[in-house]
Amino acid sequence: MSVDREKQYMTQTETDIAFLLAEATDEVEIGIAPVQAVMRGGRRRRARRWAMAAATAVVVLGGSAGATLAFAGLPGEHRAPVAVKPTSPEARHVYEPQITELSRGVYHGKEWHVSVEVWGAPRDKAEAVRQRHAMSALGIEPAVDKPAELVGKISHFVTRANGGGRPQQLMFDSVGTPDRFTGTDLQSMATRFTPDGASSGQLVVGEVATTALEVTCRWKDGTSTVARVATGRTPGDPASAIRSAAGYPWAKWFVCVSPAGKTLKEADTTKWAGR
């Protein structure tokens, strides 16, 4: 009787341990040097630490070379360690941005276009220095004073180019996590089609919530222009439109183009999903 009970107890214990191990494995987030994720998971599983300690060992090796997450497993089981390599700076668009064209048109015989550039966050000073050089090569300046201040920050630039010249930045920022716009949130600026001031206030560029369906730009003469959600860029697309930018899931961007000679009074989100 004693032996049978002990066998039954051991069988039940191994079953419990296997269950806990599987559950714990599901909770582990395998990513680039997931030290914090493992620590958070460890706090959630503190009540059953005795079972984890008896059943498995979790090893996290951090560093620039990547991370390895290994499980020892139950007696008699052998599992190969899973090696997770960090995403390369190139894949993260640290040195070359993702560019989305928002609008284009022709003013006084010269073509203009407005785009959004999104640069991935450097992970260390070396990446930041190289990113800063890449930005300078394109003629743009980030919203920081030193390259080291770009570490961990996503940078975006709204640019306007005219007549084949180098793009000029209009709106820009470098932050760890950009603000997520909601509801009628909107920020915009009125600018011009060309570097000179002849068309001042006739080109409006702004940022709105991802739920925005319609932005109305009202001009000082009482007329208005409506920008609606569009996808991609085709020759027949209207110049005034709302679009998503690659690499920037926190908000959408809009452009309003005025009729000739009219300047901006105000811009508002006038229709959005869930309204």
Residues 38 and 79 in one domain: yes
Q: Domain tally for the chain?
A: 2
- The answer to whether the beta carbons of residues 107 and 92 sit under 8 Å apart is no
Same-domain check for residues 58 and 175: no
Q: For residue 44, tell me if it sits in a domain.
A: yes
Q: Is residue 144 a part of any domain in this protein?
A: yes
Q: Verify that 41 and 103 share a domain, yes or no.
A: no
> Considering the domain boundaries, does residue 91 fall inside one?
no
Same structural domain, 118 and 248: yes
φ and ψ of 200, to 5 deg = -55, 130
Name the region of 26 (left: φ>0; alpha: ψ -120 to 50; beta: rest): alpha
Q: Give domain status of residue 92, yes or no.
A: no
- Assess whether 160 and 214 both reside in one domain: yes
- Domain of residue 7: give its range: 2-84
Predicted pLDDT of residue 10: 47
The answer on 232 and 108 residing in a single domain is: yes
In a domain, 126, yes or no: yes
Look at residue 256 and tell me if it is in a domain.
yes
Q: What is the pLDDT along the chain (275 residues), one digit of tens a residue?
A: 444 444 444 445 454 544 444 444 444 444 443 333 333 344 333 333 333 333 333 333 333 334 433 334 455 555 555 556 568 999 999 999 999 999 999 988 889 999 999 999 999 999 999 999 999 999 999 999 999 999 999 999 999 999 888 899 999 999 999 999 999 999 999 999 987 777 888 999 999 999 999 999 999 999 999 999 997 777 678 899 999 999 999 999 999 999 888 899 999 999 999 86
> Amino acid identity of 227?
A
Q: What span, in angstroms and rounded, lies between the C-alpha atoms of 217 and 254?
A: 10
Identify whether residues 249 and 132 lie together within a single domain: yes
Co-location of 204 and 254 in the same domain: yes
CA-only gyration radius of the chain, Å? 27
Tokens of 5: 């009970």
Same-domain check for residues 240 and 118: yes
* DSSP per-residue codes, 58-104: EEE--STT-EEEEE--STT---PPEEEPPPPTTTTTSSS-EEEEEEE
Do 66 and 119 belong to one domain?
A: no
Q: State the alpha helices, DSSP H only, in the chain.
A: 2-27, 35-44, 49-55, 125-137
Query: Does 248 lie in the same domain as 218?
Result: yes
Which of the listed residues 84, 119, 152 is the one where a domain comes to its end? Answer: 84
Neighbouring residues of 130: CB distance < 8 A, sequence distance ≥ 6 = 89, 94, 95, 122
Kindly report the pTM of this predicted structure.
0.68
User: In terms of domains, do 79 and 142 share one?
Assistant: no
Q: Is residue 93 part of a domain?
A: no
Tell whether 90 is covered by a domain: no
